[in-house]
Structures are given as C-alpha cells and as structure tokens.
A = this chain, B = another copy of it.
Amino acid sequence: MDEIKTIVSHKKGKVDVTPIATFYRNEIKESITKGNLKPRIVAFLTTNDEGALDYSKWTKIACNKDGIEFILKRVERVDLEDEILEANKDNNVHGIMVYYPVFGGMMDSYLQDVVSPEKDVEGLSTINRFNLYHNIRYMDAAQTKKCVIPCTPLAMVKIVDELGIYDKSLALGEHLKGKTITIVNRSEIVGRPLAAMLANDGAFVYSVDLNGIIVFQPGKRFGTIKMSETTITRDEAISKSDILILGVPSPKFKIESNLIKDGTIVINFAGCLNVDESIESRCVLVPTIGKVTIAMLERNLMRLYHNKVTHSSSSSTSSS
C-alpha cells in the first residue's frame, strides 16, 4: 500500500482501494483454507435492477475466490419474507443478505429485522445498529458472540484507518481527535452508523441530509456519543472539514469544488461521483469503496460463522 501512503502524504491524488480489500480478503481466505471452513451466504434479489445484479456478480466472484459459497436466489418480493424465514432456520446458511429496495420505505426496514440478527451479515437489523450506537460489542451476555457492523460504514472506517488518518499515539476513543468530518448521507444503512463510529473514535462529525445537519461527537463518558443540533450551513461544514464523505445516489448531485479546502480527504461511496474528479489535483480522492465493502461482507460472515460454529453450544458445521 505504498502508493496509497504517497498519495496521502502528498495530500492529493486518486486512491484505488483494491490493496486494502486484498489485504482483508487474503486474511479471510487463509483462515477458511486453514480451518477447512464451509461458510455460506444466501443473497436474495427481487428486481432486475442492473446495479444490484452487477454488485451481486462481483460479490459472488469475490466470495467464491475466497472459499465462501455465495448463493443468489431470485424471488418474488411478495415471497421474500417467507424465504428469509426459511433461510433463518437453515443450519447451513451463515449469512443472509437482501438487495434493497424491495418495496421501499418502512416495509424494507421491517424486512431488515426479519433477517435473524445471527445471520445479519450486512449488519442492518435494529439490534445490531442499537448495539453499534451504544458501543455494545457482543450479542450475548457471556460476551462470546461479537456483533456485526454495517458493511459500508465498516469499510469506510477501515479505509480511513489504512489511509493513516488515525493518530494511534492518542488514547483509544481519541484517534480522530481534532478531526472535522462531514458526511453527506444520514441513512441508517451508511451515514448514521458511520457518523457514530467516527465520533466514537473522537471525530467531530457533521451529518448532513435533506432535512438538515446534526452533529455527532464523543459523549462525556467513554464509549458514548452525543448528538446535537447546529446552525452551521452545509457549505460551511464542508469548508471546515478534514474529511468529506459523500453518498448521494444521484449523478446530478455534485458538491462545488471551491468549497473543499486543499488536502481534504474526499471519500465517495454513492455509486456515482458526488464531486468533480478534478478535485484530485489538490485533494485525496477515493472515488469508490465497493471492493472494501465486499471484503467487509466476508469479514462479517466469518464473524457470524464463528459465532455459530465455534461458540454455539449446539454447534455443527455444514452437513453438506
């Protein structure tokens, strides 16, 4: 990852995150081979959306390369809940994912909670988010089963870490102390969990969406997060930021380049670029993070696999 380090130290240029993804995937692949493990994901697709199809293909290729069985199931959306409930019961399935939107809106939030938290490889169930927001690391009182974290925010934190932005000389919970971060997206899938995680590491975070801006910062007690209102404008928040994270799924949405100060780390996870590419001439630009997200999906799966197979009293490996 020497090229990445050079780009970051020069405070400009475009970063390809492939080496970061490769690093984590190699680790996972090795553990699967060594342990002769049989992890399996079932992914449900209810639409013909090309983006979802492409993403599922890339995920399948990566998983299969690394020793993970990836089963893509095409189902009608009206049958999805029953299919998820079946997969919840299937002892040979360790992770369940769903390509959203299915119905859209709150019906999709409901479906996220139909997935058993023990197979919630994307980390989208309410209990996994609740645990994240409250810095609860284990799913059980005995502290044997680790929680999973939503894949995209987890990927983002790993990228921020690998870019060398964390100051590890500071105390735990303060590695991002003094850093101002703006995140344009406050979904429960990416933006809010990410704001909470970065605040938990000490950052001062402006969380922006269409309804306004909320500040996330470390709370008074270690491991807590404080949310507060602010009167700052989006433009002001962006111009103050050391890190700018963009996730608006519309090609029309672009942040004006002149708002962004020189040397800012700009990370885009929207699927389309929310900033003009020329910003790389004076900032660090990470245009896509999808490869690391897939690596984190694998990482979450292995966590769930170990929770089930290694730590469950009724443990049994795949019968196939």
Residues of A within 8 A of B (CB): 76, 78, 81, 103-107, 109-110, 113-114, 126, 129-130, 133, 186-189, 192, 211, 214, 227-229
A188 touching B103, Cβ below 8 Å: no
Residues of B near A214 (CB, < 8 A) are 78, 103
Q: How many whole Å from A65's CB to the nearest CB in chain B?
A: 33
Q: How many whole Å from A127's CB to the nearest CB in chain B?
A: 8
Query: Could you tell me the distance between the alpha carbons of A214 and B104 in the complex, rounded to whole angstroms?
Result: 13
B110 touching A126, Cβ below 8 Å: yes
Q: How many whole Å from A24's CB to the nearest CB in chain B?
A: 28
A130 touching B113, Cβ below 8 Å: yes
The listed residue (B81, B188, B211) touching A106 by CB distance below 8 A is B188
Q: Lowest 9 CB-CB distances: which A-B pairs, in order?
A: A106-B188, A78-B227, A109-B109, A113-B126, A78-B228, A104-B211, A106-B109, A110-B188, A78-B229
Residues of B near A81 (CB, < 8 A) are 133
Q: Please judge, given known A-B contacts A109-B188, A110-B188, A126-B110, whether A211 and B103 are in contact too, CB under 8 Å.
A: yes
Q: How many whole Å from A213's CB to the nearest CB in chain B?
A: 12
Query: Could you tell me the distance between the alpha carbons of A133 and B114 in the complex, rounded to whole angstroms?
Result: 11
Query: Could you tell me the distance between the alpha carbons of A126 and B115 in the complex, rounded to whole angstroms?
Result: 12
Query: Could you tell me the distance between the alpha carbons of A114 and B192 in the complex, rounded to whole angstroms?
Result: 16
* A-B contact list, 22 entries, CB within 8 Å: A78-B214, A78-B228, A78-B229, A103-B211, A103-B214, A104-B211, A105-B187, A105-B188, A106-B106, A106-B187, A106-B188, A107-B188, A107-B192, A109-B109, A109-B126, A110-B129, A110-B130, A110-B188, A113-B126, A113-B130, A114-B130, A126-B126
